[in-house]
Structure 1
Amino acid sequence: GDGGDVYFVADNNTHTLAAYKGKKAMRAQNGEAGTGRRMHGKRGEHLDLIVPPGTAVLDAQTGELLCDLTSEGQRELFLKGGKGGLGNVHFKSSINQAPEYAQKGLEGETREVRLELKLIADVGLVGFPNVGKSTLISTVSNAKPQIANYEFTTLTPKLGLVEVDEYSGFVMADIPGIIEGASEGRGLGVQFLKHVERTKILLFMLDLANYRGLEDQFDALRAETAKFSGELTKRDYAIALTRADAAENLREKFDAFLSHLGLAGAAGEMKFKQDIYEFDAAKPFFVMPISSATGQNINELKFNLLELLKKEL
């Protein structure tokens, strides 16, 4: 009989790839040989490899993307089982009533692969270490990440569900801090940046109380994401200026940063938002000073992120 096939199946009940750690080889069942009275061989059972949504299957040598599982219930045929051979009865003839040979089956497909899990979220937080990403996601969502006053507190990405109102919400991903050179592997580098690829929109978080200027922080983050993936430069984005409660010369810093972005002359409150009908994807959808400690502009941030996500639909 034919050998079984190998499938990848995305299942929301699975959250990690830990089940595959240390596994050297996994195979579908071989086909079984036929028996007497012209009975054909039984087909081998298929092998379903259960993975969480967001799993990418890559060629272990070249890094080529072979299969991308992004949605619940997605089932992809990955490898075909071998074709079964013909039994001796197929070679019976008038001069050879009991042939003693049969045709061998063909080998099934094999492949050496690497599995990578990339989080799927609506909004991805991008910023340097200790900029307030974990504090924000713990404030606006049900996520409870570790928070401390030192860099690289967050070592693994975290997901949180943000409820905007009774009927609307979105999933936010706290991506661990990115540093300059991350796209080339510095720090934990691409281990973090790969998760940004799955998010629909990016929220750049810049620290108003940092020794680096807003302009330097933003330019460095944009450069790292662009080096990692040109697609990220096309992604819609917004900017949150954190620790507004501790910032000196807030209005001056805010106006100078808008000028740096080519958005000088924005009037009114200390927030900037593009007119949704004149949206320019090369510019941020909004720039907003926030404070997770005092709650300043936190609700406005949630509503504006939701509005940007609706524009994505």
Structure 2
Amino acid sequence: MVWCSRVLHRKYGNFVDNLRVYVRGGSGGMGLPRLGGQGGKGGDVWVVAKDGMTLKKIKDKYPQKRFVAGVGKNSGIRALKGDKGQDCEVYAPAGISVTTDDGKVIGELNQDGERVLVGQGGCGGSFATGFLPKKVQARQIRLDLKLIADVGLVGFPNAGKSSLLSLLSHARPQIASYPFTTLRPEIGKIMFEDYKQISVADLPGLIEGAHVNRGMGHKFLKHVERTKQLLFVVDVNGFQLSYKTPFRTAFEAVQLLTKELELYKEELMSKPALLAVNKMDLPDAEEKLKELVEQLQHPQDFVHLFPEGVVPRCTLHFNHIVPVSASSGYGIQELKKCIRNSLDEQATSQNEEDHREKLQELHKMKRTTEKSCRNFTAQVLPKL
């Protein structure tokens, strides 16, 4: 008897987070020398944010990855000024940065409807150009996706981030009891009774050396930049990535994660952060949690546990430390509550800061106006 089995493969190659495309503005129209006519301007190429779009959809729909705007109309007897060429719009997801090949930022798209000019059309021919159209803008650009989420889950592989996301939201990420299950970002929404929604991103697990692009290094860290807050997830029992790597306690995991973020971009340390201590259903978890909290309160007393160069320069303060169990559901409601409170506090603080900045700007404008009035009174009025 022959048994046939079907092997199911998980496909991770579908996620595209960086796309290189060619853009070219439209050529301008010819001028009309004998009547002084002006050719129409060539069309422009725009990248426009649109809900529901992904970089993979662009790649599949336009395999040549080439976008060219329309040509401007020539000047003629019936229309001395030619019509402008048709613009070309490249629809892309919100949450991308548009850069040149050498890394220069052209612009960013953060919400639906925003647009960035990437390929300028040439001016039409006129008297100033000898009635010949001017040169168009043509170049290669990169669309670099950086996820936008309210909260980003940060942790080493197998810390339970995917399981936690599935309990917090309606997302259905891949979950297994071995490292590196998550190889592409997953976003879920936490729904509250008053219809408030909070987006949470589960990102591929970090490894030591991620800041120098080991593992999924920069692919992970660039997504962290576009989250409002960080939610560290650590195993209360610690972890060991493989038999070749040393065992790390929960406290060491927190410090190593902090160091990786600090080395990649120090500005990330200014983001508000929470800590979820997972797997609290396991034996001796309570004692280990108490030990972790004590170590986090006095981290300077445990610096000797780390090799030189591994200790972060800045100590990360957590707004909330929440014990949870992704397998039993323990602490999940408390974690949701803490996430919302932390985001509300951040929004209030940001509003107050914006208000202060507006007041300072108004005071500055008032002082400038008063100074101008005094100068006018002192210099102009005596001459009248």
TM-score range, shorter chain: 0.7 to 0.9
- CA-to-aligned-CA distance 1:221-270 (integer Å, 9 cap, x gap): 1111112221211000010011010142x333223222222269xxxxxx
User: Residues 153-192 of structure 1 correspond to what in structure 2 (within 5 A)?
Assistant: 153-192=181-220
Instruction: Provide the rounded CA distance (Å) in 1 between the counterparts of 2:332 and 2:229.
Output: 18
Instruction: Provide the rounded CA distance (Å) in 2 between the counterparts of 1:2 and 1:143.
Output: 48
1:71 and 2:105 are equivalent in the alignment: no
The one-letter code of the counterpart of 1:252 is: E
Instruction: Provide the rounded CA distance (Å) in 2 between the counterparts of 1:24 and 1:73.
Output: 22
Provide the TM-score with structure 2 as the length reference: 0.69
Displacement after TM superposition at 1:102 (Å): 5.4
Show the counterpart of 2:138. Answer: 110
1:309 and 2:343 are equivalent in the alignment: yes
Return closer, same or farther for 1:73/1:38 CA change in 2, 3 Å cut-off.
Answer: closer
Show the counterpart of 1:94. Answer: none
1:194 and 2:195 are equivalent in the alignment: no
Show the counterpart of 1:226. Answer: 262
Preserved CA contact (<8 Å) 1:208 1:247: no
1:3 and 2:42 are equivalent in the alignment: yes
SS in 2 for 1:302: helix
User: Residues 276-287 of structure 1 correspond to what in structure 2 (within 5 A)?
Assistant: 282-287=316-321
Instruction: Provide the rounded CA distance (Å) in 2 between the counterparts of 1:30 and 1:20.
Output: 25
Instruction: Provide the rounded CA distance (Å) in 2 between the counterparts of 1:207 and 1:243.
Output: 6
Show the counterpart of 1:270. Answer: none
Structure number with higher helix proportion: 2
SS in 1 for 2:117: strand
CA RMSD of aligned residues (A): 2.1
1:237 and 2:273 are equivalent in the alignment: yes
Show the counterpart of 2:323. Answer: 289
Return closer, same or farther for 1:56/1:123 CA change in 2, 3 Å cut-off.
Answer: same
Show the counterpart of 2:153. Answer: 125
Instruction: Provide the rounded CA distance (Å) in 1 between the counterparts of 2:333 and 2:74.
Output: 67
Preserved CA contact (<8 Å) 1:57 1:65: yes
Provide the TM-score with structure 1 as the length reference: 0.84
Show the counterpart of 1:139. Answer: 167
The one-letter code of the counterpart of 1:5 is: D
Q: Which runs of 5+ in 2 are unaligned?
A: 1-39, 240-247, 300-314, 348-384
Instruction: Provide the rounded CA distance (Å) in 2 between the counterparts of 1:203 and 1:102.
Output: 62
Displacement after TM superposition at 1:215 (Å): 1.3
Report how many residues are paired.
283
1:214 and 2:255 are equivalent in the alignment: no
Displacement after TM superposition at 1:13 (Å): 2.4
Preserved CA contact (<8 Å) 1:30 1:44: yes
Preserved CA contact (<8 Å) 2:45 2:67: no
Return closer, same or farther for 1:241/1:80 CA change in 2, 3 Å cut-off.
Answer: same
Preserved CA contact (<8 Å) 1:164 1:303: no
Preserved CA contact (<8 Å) 2:42 2:84: yes
Q: Which runs of 5+ in 1 are unaligned?
A: 92-100, 265-280
The one-letter code of the counterpart of 1:303 is: K
- Percent of counterpart pairs with the same letter? 36
Question: Which of 68, 76, 84 is matched with 1:35 structurally?
Answer: 76
Show the counterpart of 1:83. Answer: 123
Preserved CA contact (<8 Å) 2:150 2:229: yes
SS in 1 for 2:71: coil
Show the counterpart of 2:377. Answer: none
